[in-house]
Structure 1
Amino acid sequence: MPFVHIRVAGLDLAPPQVETLQREATRLMADAMGKKAELTAVLVEIHDAARWSIGGRPVPAAAHLDVRVTEGTNSEDEKAEFIRQAHGLLARVVGPDLPLATYVVVDEVPADAWGYGGSTQAMRRAAAA
């Protein structure tokens, strides 16, 4: 049940570009991280480039991808591959102005600290056991 939060600045993304980010982020969660696509939520936010800086300097375009997954459900290699591919996705959508300091973050949340449908992931594990 991952939650993917993508922020893009400096671009006026057309609906097909937003759909590409949503579809491809969902695919990456399934393929690289082994998550269920049908439970993957993706939020794409678009911001004014004037609100984003790197090293204290404005940038023409920028992006950030943050994903939350249950702690301990992915290996170091899976996370590294996801980060590599997610950066590639951002680079394809944002283009050549994408700064080097473009971060992809995998946040691992304890199973008892989040869930969906009114149940924590810990509760789901216990019920399945």
Structure 2
Amino acid sequence: MPFIRVTTAGLETGSERITALQRGITALMAEVLGKRADLTAVLVEPAPAGGWSVGGMAVTPAAHLEARVTLGTNSAEEKARFVAAAHDLLARTLPGPLPLATYVVVQEVPADGWGYGGVTQAQRAREAAARG
């Protein structure tokens, strides 16, 4: 049940580009990190013009991707593969060149700190274990 936010600056992110990012990221979450595609939420949002800088200098274009997953559900190698593949997706999908400081972050959240449908991931794990 990951949540992914892609923030862009200085880019026209029309509906085709947004759809390509959403589908590509959803596929990466399933293929690389083993997450359920049907529970993967992706938000693509623009930053205000002039609102992005690297090293104190305004940059355009720019992008940042942050994926939230449950703590301990992925290995270091899986996360490294995801970071590389997600960066490649951003570079292929968005007009560039993107700055070197185009970050992809995999943020791990404790299972008792988030969930969906009103149920935490920790509670889902307890219920699954009780079912055997």
* TM class by smaller structure: over 0.9
What pairs with 1:1-129 in structure 2 (closer than 5 Å)? Answer: 1-129=1-129
Count residues with an aligned counterpart: 129
CA positional deviation for 1:14: 1.3
- Return the offset for 1:74: 0.1
**SS at the partner of 2:43?**
strand
TM-score (norm 1): 0.97
5+ residue gaps, structure 1: none
| SS across alignment from 1:6 | strand
Alpha-carbon shift at residue 48 of structure 1 (Å): 3.1
SS at match of 1:16: helix
Q: Percent identity?
A: 58
Distance 1:95 1:75 in 2: 31
Residue deviations 1:83-115 (CA, integer Å, cap 9, x gap): 000000111122332000000000000000000
Deviations 1:54-86 (A, max 9, x none): 000011210000000000000001000000000
CA contact (8 A) 1:49 1:61 kept: no
Asked if 1 retains the 8 angstrom alpha-carbon contact of 2:17 and 2:94, the reply is no
Output the amino acid matched with 2:50: A
- Say what the alpha-carbon RMSD is for the aligned residues: 0.8
| 1:25-51 deviation digits (Å, cap 9, x = unpaired) | 000000000000000000000123400
Query: Which blocks of at least 5 consecutive residues in structure 2 are unaligned?
Result: none
Distance 1:25 1:45 in 2: 14
Equivalent residue letter for 1:79: K
Matched-pair contact (CA < 8 Å) for 2:10–2:61: yes
TM-score, normalised to structure 2, is: 0.95
Cα distance in 2 for partners of 1:8, 1:100 equals 14
Give the residue type in structure 1 aligned to 2:116: Y
Letter in 1 for 2:35: K
